[in-house]
Structure 1
Amino acid sequence: MAVTDDRPVVVTGASGFVGGALVRRLQREGVPVRAVVRTHGRGGPEALVGPALGPEADWSRLLAGAGAVVHAAAHVHVEAADTGAARLAFRRANVEGTRSLAQQAADAGVRRFVFISSIGVNGRRTKHPFTEDDAPAPEGPYADSKLEAERALCEVAQRAGMEWVVIRPPLVYGPAAPGNFARLVRWVARGVPLPLGAVRNRRTLVAIDNLTDLVLTCLRSDSAANEVFLAGDAESLSTPDLLRIVAKAQGRTARLVPVPPVLLRAAAVLIGRLADAERLCGDLEVDIGKACRVLHWTPPLSAREALRRAVTETAP
């Protein structure tokens, strides 16, 4: 199995929220780790500075003697215009950068390459929970690049005989989580009235502890080889339920105003924020049944307990 010997696991993106949490989890498990960051002083005193993602990057020094790679680094999604320049930047870092890293990993004798992709490869909204068997339906340059990167990895790995694993998480949350989750927590903490009381959606998130547990399982399990897995908590929540749980953890009551979702979407269109409205009002459910069946994996934390910890605990 990939991480039961003395060969280290290389983790890219180790200064990021997911990569950093994974490094700490592997260290607690006694797994030798090479934490790779882009800037000196980030990711802890033992972190190693790696190259920028791209086709010319030289990873040989960092991959020498490694048993596995977890590729969590990426040119990340930002609210930017879908321009040719944006697509070129995503493709260069996420597609060609992943292809180059995978090829060099195979050349270095790495046994298993775990790629942290995105549920955006499946799409932005669901009529039924996403599964691994659904046809990809990415929207936008970031999700497109993640799908292309998955395919590049599979192509390289199959040609070289290296095992690959793809994990597609939805929104990841936890103590000190960045982005949309952090904004929701701040809104609730400030007592901001939120026009979401009439929303009846279902969304799957994934706690950082649940995601890192799945990654560790994929490193250890022979059954994970050459498979795609969707990540998620065991239960989905509506946006109002999520806000109520967050508010309770803060010792507050969520101030939810019952505005019809159709009006929220119409207002969002007028101000150019439809994507934000969809994230708050739309459905995006993930079926984690394959990971549970194939890997005999169960998320260690319930969504409610993980949300409580995300609000009340401090990131290590």
Structure 2
Amino acid sequence: MDGKVIIFGGSGYIGKQATIACLEKGWNVISVSRTGSQIRNTNLIDLVVDFVDFDYSKVSENDCVIYCAGVAHNKYKNESAEYANNTLPVNVATQLKDKVKKFVFISSSNVLGIKRKNKFNPDSYDPIDSAAKLKMKTERALLSIFENSKTLLSIIRCPMVYGKGAPGNINMISKLARLPVPFASVKTTRTMLYSKNLTDLLTKVLEFDRPPKVLLVGDSQALPFNEMVAVISSSMGYKSKQFKLNIFFLRLLLTIIGKRALANNLSNDFLIESSIKHDRFCWSPTFTHKQGLVESFNRERER
């Protein structure tokens, strides 16, 4: 790459993984966040600054931007989420229009709804909750901003991203996987995305001359939920202890304890075609779902 990679949200989980992947390519990286990435590398400038205070005049037309900032996992509500997940990315994109080579926005597959099997229409929205509606709103704004711009826009729609140290539901599932849990009858299959598969795609998008505008990605060979829990258990060195419980009562229990999203996911398959073929752009995930889970939770890697 001739220019720098500027990562907005470099202190978050995906931002850190993207930073590491770009540095491993030997690229110069600027991480922009309010807390810092805590990564040390001679090719990294770790800026601790609000996005509104970033000096946009110093970017160049060969630079590429990855925008993966935002609030997630129900940390904030209403106005804070609107500002972080819509207002900020739209403002950053407006500032960078025609000033950088590429703008890559990390979005969510939740903009498509909770039920989907190997069907993909980039214009088909069916957001499942307020967070997904904000992602949809931001996607539409970005598509409008960059419609006639020399800056190339790529939107990457991700299902649940997991990996070593990942936050969110996958972290909760890994804790439950050590205990007797009522998941033996849950055979719902939902595509997920290993962080190393995501960063591999990200670097390919940055390297490719004209990448697709919208990409829907996931691991290959998605596992049913009960098998996924068993793989996580064994990877951590535990014997899987799953027992059967009627799915209706399981969903009710999860809803009562405030895990409505997980309850909905246990009732609906969501399968994504893992490989991408678009004109000359071709990509397939390096890791299968099982391989990603083993790498993420292998107890030997925790030492």
TM-score, structure 1 normalization = 0.85
Per-residue deviation, 1:210: 0.3
Note if 1:29 corresponds to 2:15: no
Following TM superposition, the consecutive aligned residue runs of length 4 or more in structure 1 with deviations greater than 6 angstroms are none
Residues 126-275 of structure 1 aligned to structure 2 (within 5 Å): 126-133=115-122, 135-189=124-178, 192-225=179-212, 227-275=213-261
Q: Give the letter aligned to residue 49 of structure 1.
A: L
CA distance in 1, matches of 2:273, 2:7: 26
Query: Which secondary structure does the structure 2 equivalent of 1:304 belong to?
Result: helix
**1:119 is matched with which residue?**
109
Percent identity over the alignment? 25
Deviates more, 1:92-101 or 1:231-240: 92-101
Given residue 113 of structure 1, which amino acid in structure 2 is its aligned partner? F
AA matched with 2:47: V
CA distance, structure 1, for counterparts of residue 48 and residue 131 of structure 2:
22
**Matched ranges for 1:63-82 at <5 A:** 63-64=59-60, 67-78=63-74
Task: Name the CA distance, whole Å, in 2 between partners of 1:183 and 1:62.
Answer: 42
Q: Secondary structure at the match of 2:271?
A: coil
Unaligned runs of 5+ in 1: 81-85
Distance 1:174 1:273 in 2: 21
Q: In 1, Cα distance between the equivalents of 2:167 and 2:242?
A: 23
- Give 5+ residue unaligned stretches, structure 2: none
**C-alpha distance in structure 2 between counterparts of 1:288 and 1:175, whole Å:** 21
Q: Deviations for 1:210-259, whole angstroms, at most 9, x for unmatched residues? A: 0001111111123414x100120012111101011112212322111111
Cα distance in 1, alignment partners of residues 13 and 164 from structure 2:
10
In 2: Cα distance, 1:47 partner to 1:183 partner = 33
Gap change, CA 1:68 and 1:270, over 3 Å in 2:
closer
Quote the Cα distance in structure 1 between the aligned partners of 2:166 and 2:139: 25
The corresponding residue for 1:9 is 5
State whether residues 90 and 141 of structure 1, in contact with CA within 8 Å, keep that contact through their aligned partners in structure 2: no
AA of the residue aligned to 1:145: L
Task: Pick the aligned partner of 1:96 from 87, 95, 100.
Answer: 87
Distance in structure 1 (CA, Å) of the matches to 2:144 and 2:115: 29
How many equivalent pairs are there?
Answer: 300
Q: Which amino acid aligns with 1:180?
A: N
Residue 289 of structure 1, CA deviation: 4.0
CA distance in 1: counterparts of 2:256 and 2:59, whole angstroms: 50
Provide, for residues 82-113 of structure 1, a one-character-per-residue CA deviation record: whole Å limited to 9, x for no partner.
Answer: xxxx3332222222211211121125x20110
What is the alpha-carbon distance in structure 2 between the residues aligned to residue 23 and residue 69 of structure 1? 11
Distance 2:37 2:86 in 1: 27
Distance 1:288 1:187 in 2: 28
Provide closer, same or farther for how the CA distance between residues 305 and 157 of structure 1 changes in structure 2, counting only shifts above 3 A.
same
Q: Aligned in 2, Cα 1:245/1:199: closer, same or farther, shift over 3 Å?
A: same
Is the 8 Å Cα contact of residues 51 and 59 (structure 1) preserved in structure 2?
no
Equivalent-residue separation in structure 2 for 1:41 and 1:24 (angstroms): 10
TM-score, L = length of structure 2: 0.89
Counting strand residues as a fraction of each chain, which structure ranks higher?
2
Structure 2 residue corresponding to 1:106, chosen from 93, 97, 119: 97
Deviation per CA, 1:242-284: give whole Å up to 9, x if none: 0111122123221111112122123344555432322344322
**AA in 2 matched with 1:157:** F
When residues 133 and 146 of structure 1 are mapped into structure 2, their CA distance, relative to the original with a 3 A threshold, is closer
- After superposition, the CA RMSD in angstroms is 2.5
Residues in 1 aligned to 2:185 and 2:272: alpha-carbon distance in whole angstroms: 22
CA distance in 1, matches of 2:75, 2:69: 18
